[in-house]
Every structure is written in C-alpha cells, then in structure tokens.
Amino acid sequence: MTDCLFCKIASGEAPSEMVYQDDLVVAFKDIQPAAPIHLLVIPRKHIKSLAEVELEDQELLGHLLLVVKKLAIENDINEKGYKTIINTGTDGGQIIDHLHVHLLGGEKVNKLV
C-alpha cells in the first residue's frame, strides 16, 4: 500500500525511531507518547485493522504479541506491568489504517488511553 504511513515506516521510506525489526514486524517510538514508554508494534504486511485479519495471519499475530512481550522485558516494564491497545476502526479510535499495537508503560497506565 503506497500511501500507508506505517508501510513506509516499515520499509524505511519514512523516518521513525525504530527500536526493533525482523522479517515480520517492526516497532518504533510513538511520536506523541502517552506514557514514558510508548511503542507501536506493527506487521510489515499491510493489514488495515484487526477487523480484517484472516486465518492465514494467525502466526503473524502470535509473533507480533511475542515481540510486544520481548519489548516489555527489554524496556523494564514487564515486572510492574504495561498496557497494550489495539484500536480498530474509526469508532475504536484507530487513526492510521494499518494494524498496530500500542505498548505503554513506565508509570501507572490506568489513566492513559
């Protein structure tokens, strides 16, 4: 998808503060953080939202969540806890039409998003 910002970030065409990448997913710092640690973890494959995942995506989704856990450990938020958010669709608060997981931590996140 040529006009998708997150596809451009995943391919290196758009700037980001990348913190993780492999063949299936990338993770980068949110440009408007809502917590001391606020990362976005996205699949390289363009999937518009969680509402559009297919059975063939189940391995990718499992990998995506394992990367979220890995990043929580690496950012020292695994023990105290963290919040993950997947906004789906306009009414769900999704702004960019590319599936992404918000990883938030570093303080109590009950009050955040």
62-113 pLDDT tens trace: 999 999 999 999 999 999 999 999 999 999 999 999 999 999 999 876 654 5
The domains of the chain are located at: 5-105
Domain 5-105 sits in CATH 3.30.230.10? no
Q: Could you tell me which residues come within 8 angstroms of residue 101 by beta carbon, excluding any fewer than 6 positions away?
A: 40, 41, 42, 64, 65, 68, 84, 85, 86
- Hey, how many other C-beta atoms are within 10 angstroms of the C-beta on 109? 20
Q: How far apart are CA 65 and CA 81, in angstroms?
A: 15
What's the pTM? Answer: 0.93
Angle value at C-alpha 30, between 25 and 36, nearest 5 degrees: 115
19-52 pLDDT tens trace: 999 999 999 999 999 999 999 999 999 999 999 9
Residues annotated as catalytic are: 100
